[in-house]
Structure 1
Amino acid sequence: MTDTKGWGWRAIQAATVLVYIFMFAPILAVVILSFNASRFGGFPMTGFSLHWYAKLTENEAVLRAFYTSLWIGCLTAVICTVLGVMAAVALVRYEFAGKEWVNSLIVGPVLVPETVLGVGLLLANRWIGSKPNFVLLLCGHILLSLPYVVLVVQARLIGVKRVFEEAAMSLGANRFQTFREITLPLIMPAVFAGLLLAFTISFDNVTASVFWRPPGVETMPTQILSMLKVSISPEVNALGTLMILVTIGVPLIGGVVSRLMMRRSVE
């Protein structure tokens, strides 16, 4: 019986390893081939080179797409953080009619496929007689990122005891002063994590951006798609590697900083 359990556990471990290899091997191949000296992306590599990264800095289309994604990501992060904190405080600290409906409405976009949301918002925009524009693109990114900020801040706010806020109000502080001096510093790690998470989701979004971007405007993911229509060159691999670094590095940095902020708040 022990042998059966041992073999079963080993089979599960082997299947898990195979799944991870299947998921991350293509990503690793993109990163490795971005340093290929040859113009044709493929193995075996002809040499190690940073030429394709340098070439990205000379590509005006890539630079425009980067600035567009950076600008939209920053706006999305700031707006989602402000709205997310307000929504989380309202949902956790106050009781009002239709609270469950509001919570479901905010979290709903997480449960709906992005393609469905993209097509739906595009059709609604056309129904009112408007064409895809920058405002629609920004609103779409906010719609997709806001639920994550609300969920992160909610989880932190639930752990904050109300006695701290009640003590501040009993000493003469109003609700805004209590939030600014007591509540906000205690939930700041979650607020910072939500800010970076919203930026990452917006910067990496591709499905919705395809439907919502105005003509002639490219974000980083849609720029990669347009480059793939021509050929798979090491320049595309280099751009994909940078996208991987941003989408993985920003949340990791946010997690480390949030933990440090939580430790300081506890101390």
Structure 2
Amino acid sequence: MKQSSLGWTFIKIHTLLVYIFLFAPIVVVVVLAFNPKQFGIFPMEGVSFRWFIKLAQNESILEAFKNSLILGSLTAVISTAIGILAALAFIRFDFPGKNTLNTLLLSPIMIPEVVLGVALLLFLRFLQMPKSFGLLLIGHVVLTLPYVLLIVQARLVGIKKEYEEAAKSLGANAFQTFREVTLPLLLPAILAGALFAFTISFDDITATLFWATAQNQTVPVKIFSMLRNSISPEINALGTVMIVLTVTTPLLAGYLSRKLSKVR
């Protein structure tokens, strides 16, 4: 019994140390974002929003935010639209090569982003096509589509086919059945998938480094370039904003998904 108790104590301590190792740097970044001084010192001499104000006045960072928001929104819309159609095809219909195509669409999850980034870049170089915003959008859709597809498929499996058959027996056509029956029941998964796709696109840096141009830099790429040049307190403020967005968006997706599921 003593050995078992010591073992669990060791596991708890080890788990606590792992969490401290993972989250302590994030806490430091958030705290230093409110540091009034140029250099990070502890204890801080007061609290200030100086670097957030300076961040809001930085045109290049605002442009990167604009690019990230536009890219994330378009990625979410396109990935969700394709994911809904693909999920309906895979769950509701049988056709040759269904499993192969499903595996192909989900494969980006299993492939490292560095490999995807280099592969798409080399493919476009083979086609002699320059890097552009369109390329960046295609790459992000490839990255986020598997997550949307998995979420929508999981929800669609739980929707009984009898609901759709009942609507058709009452005279509704295929489009009316989808609009009045299937779509409302899928809405929690669609919303969750879209928000997750936006978060993944907004936060991605590994693959985006290969696809972005100087005119289409996203916020993570901008942070990376700022770290290469110098360590400015603005980076802490920008990192804090990114942390808030990337944490609250999935939480919002989960909350809305549960709420809409209860309503339905």
Which residue identity does 1:80 align to in structure 2? Answer: S
Which residue identity does 1:259 align to in structure 2? Answer: R
**What is aligned with 1:50?**
49
For residues 163 and 216 of structure 1, the distance between their equivalents in structure 2, rounded to whole angstroms, comes to 51
1:188 is aligned to 2:187: yes
1:86 is aligned to 2:85: yes
**What is aligned with 2:166?**
167
**What is aligned with 2:259?**
260
TM-score normalised by L of structure 2: 0.98
For residues 16 and 125 of structure 1, the distance between their equivalents in structure 2, rounded to whole angstroms, comes to 45
**What is aligned with 1:206?**
205
For residues 210 and 223 of structure 1, the distance between their equivalents in structure 2, rounded to whole angstroms, comes to 10
Structure 1 window deviating more from structure 2 (9-18 vs 59-68): it is: 9-18
1:41·1:232 contact (CA, 8 Å) conserved in 2?
no
| Structure 1 runs not aligned, ≥5 long | none
Q: 1:1-267 residue pairs with structure 2 within 5 A?
A: 2-265=1-264
Q: CA deviation at 1:17?
A: 1.0
The C-alpha deviation readout for 1:108-133, integer Å capped at 9, x for no partner, is 00000001100000000000001111
| Structure 2 runs not aligned, ≥5 long | none
Q: Secondary structure at the match of 1:172?
A: coil
The C-alpha deviation readout for 1:44-67, integer Å capped at 9, x for no partner, is 423211000000111000000000
TM-score normalised by L of structure 1: 0.97
Q: CA deviation at 1:42?
A: 4.0
For residues 241 and 217 of structure 1, the distance between their equivalents in structure 2, rounded to whole angstroms, comes to 22
Q: CA deviation at 1:8?
A: 1.2
Which residue identity does 2:139 align to in structure 1? Answer: G
For residues 13 and 165 of structure 2, the distance between their equivalents in structure 1, rounded to whole angstroms, comes to 54
For residues 225 and 263 of structure 1, the distance between their equivalents in structure 2, rounded to whole angstroms, comes to 42
For residues 99 and 5 of structure 1, the distance between their equivalents in structure 2, rounded to whole angstroms, comes to 50
Structure 1 window deviating more from structure 2 (21-30 vs 209-218): it is: 209-218
Which residue identity does 1:241 align to in structure 2? Answer: T
Q: Secondary structure at the match of 2:46?
A: coil
Percent of aligned positions with the same letter in both sequences?
A: 53
For residues 69 and 43 of structure 2, the distance between their equivalents in structure 1, rounded to whole angstroms, comes to 35
Q: CA deviation at 1:159?
A: 0.6
Which residue identity does 1:194 align to in structure 2? Answer: G
Q: Secondary structure at the match of 2:136?
A: helix
1:35·1:234 contact (CA, 8 Å) conserved in 2?
no
Q: Secondary structure at the match of 2:229?
A: coil
1:31·1:241 contact (CA, 8 Å) conserved in 2?
yes
1:132·1:215 contact (CA, 8 Å) conserved in 2?
no
Q: Secondary structure at the match of 1:229?
A: helix
Q: CA deviation at 1:216?
A: 3.2
For residues 90 and 40 of structure 2, the distance between their equivalents in structure 1, rounded to whole angstroms, comes to 51
Q: Secondary structure at the match of 1:207?
A: coil
Find runs of 4+ consecutive structure 1 residues off by over 4 angstroms: none
For residues 221 and 111 of structure 1, the distance between their equivalents in structure 2, rounded to whole angstroms, comes to 22
Q: Secondary structure at the match of 1:95?
A: coil
For residues 100 and 195 of structure 1, the distance between their equivalents in structure 2, rounded to whole angstroms, comes to 24
Which residue identity does 1:237 align to in structure 2? Answer: N
Which residue identity does 1:208 align to in structure 2? Answer: A
The C-alpha deviation readout for 1:206-250, integer Å capped at 9, x for no partner, is 111111012332100001011111222221000000000010011
For residues 89 and 109 of structure 2, the distance between their equivalents in structure 1, rounded to whole angstroms, comes to 20
The C-alpha deviation readout for 1:121-156, integer Å capped at 9, x for no partner, is 000000000111111000000000000000000111
